[in-house]
Amino acid sequence: MAIVAPSILSADFANIQRDVEMINSSQADWFHIDIMDGVFVPNISFGFPVLKAIQKHAKKPLDVHLMIVEPEKFFEEFKNVGAQILSVHIEACTHLHRSIQQIKSLGMKAGVAINPHTPIFLLKEVIADIDLVCMMSVNPGFGGQSFIENTYSKIRELKSLIAEKSSQALIEIDGGVSLSNYKKLVECGADVLVAGNTVFSSSDPIQAILELKNV
Ligand code: DX5
Ligand code: ZN
C-alpha cells in the first residue's frame, strides 16, 4: 500500500483549516507542501505564515518540497514550522551532500527532488544518505499538469540504484498522479504518491484518497 500525500497547493486557501481537517480525517498519510520562489520555478506558492497555519491544524507529517534556490538559507525555519521531511532539488544545490547533512542534523528526514530531464545516475553518490527521492513526473511549478510517461522507466532505474546501494530511500512521485496511473506507478516501485488535483478536484476527496490507498 502506498503512502498518500495530498498536495496542499490544490487546496482552497480561503478554507485552509477545513481542507487540512479533511486530510486529517482521511486515510492520507502525509501533507505535501510545495514551496516555490518564482526563480527556480516560474511560479510563487506561499511561505512561512501559511505553513504555520497548516502546522496549527495538521495531525500528520508535513512533507515539504522546496522549489527554491539557495534552500539551505531556510532549513532551520522550515524545521521550526513543523517540516518532518524536507526535500531540496538536485538542480538547485551546488553542495548537495552538505545540504543533505544539514537537513539531517536538524532532525528532519532528507529528500532530494529531481526534475523530469535529470538522469537518475546523478543520485548515485547520495542515494545511500537520503530518506526520499521526490521524482517529478511533471515540470515543477504548477498543479494539474499532465503526467510525463517517461517516469515509469525512471522509477525502475531508481529502484535498482536503491537496491544496488542498499539505500532506504522511498520513491515519491510528484505531478499528474491520477486514478488511472497510480496502480502502474506502485507496480513500478513508487512508495509515495503525491496528489493535488486528483484529491482536491474530486467531488469526494476522502474517497479519492481511499482509492489511491487501495492498490
Ligand atoms: C508541482 C508540485 C506538485 C503539485 C502536484 O510543482 O510539486 O506537488 O502540487 O499537483 P498535481 O497532483 O495536481 O499534479
Ligand atoms: Zn511537490
pLDDT (tens digit, 0 to 9) for every residue of the chain, 215 residues total?
Answer: 999 999 999 999 999 999 999 999 999 999 999 999 999 999 999 999 999 999 999 999 999 999 999 999 999 999 999 999 999 999 999 999 999 999 999 999 999 999 999 999 999 999 999 999 999 999 999 999 999 999 999 999 999 999 999 999 999 999 999 999 999 999 999 999 999 999 999 999 999 999 999 86
CA–CA distance, 16 with 136 (Å, rounded to integer): 25
Point out which residues pair with 5 in neighbouring strands.
Answer: 194
- All residues with CB under 5 Å from ion ligand 2: 34, 65, 174
Nearest 5°: the CA angle 22, 52, 61 is: 55
Phi, psi of 60 (to 5 degrees): -130, 160
Measured in degrees and rounded to the nearest 5, phi and psi for residue 32 equal -100, 125
Task: Indicate the number of domains in the chain.
Answer: 1
| Residue 211 in contact with ligand 1 by CB distance below 6 A | no
196 CA to middle of ligand 1, Å? 6
Give catalytic residue positions: 34, 174
Q: Are 87 and 78 in contact (CB under 8 A)?
A: no
Helix (H, G, I), strand (E, B) or coil at 37: strand
Burial class (CB in 10 A: 0-12, 13-18, 19+), 70: middle
pLDDT of res. 73: 98
Q: Domain limits at 91?
A: 3-213
Amino acid sitting at position 162: I
C-beta 137 within 6 A of ligand 1: no
- Quote the pLDDT of residue 214: 85
Domain containing 199 — which CATH number?
Answer: 3.20.20.70
63 in contact with ligand 1, CB cutoff 6 A: no
- Which ligand 1 atom lies nearest to the CA of residue 197? 13
Ligand nearest to the CA of 193: 1
How remote is the C-alpha of 211 from its chain's centroid?
Answer: 19
- The CA-based angle 119-124-126, given to 5 degrees, is 115
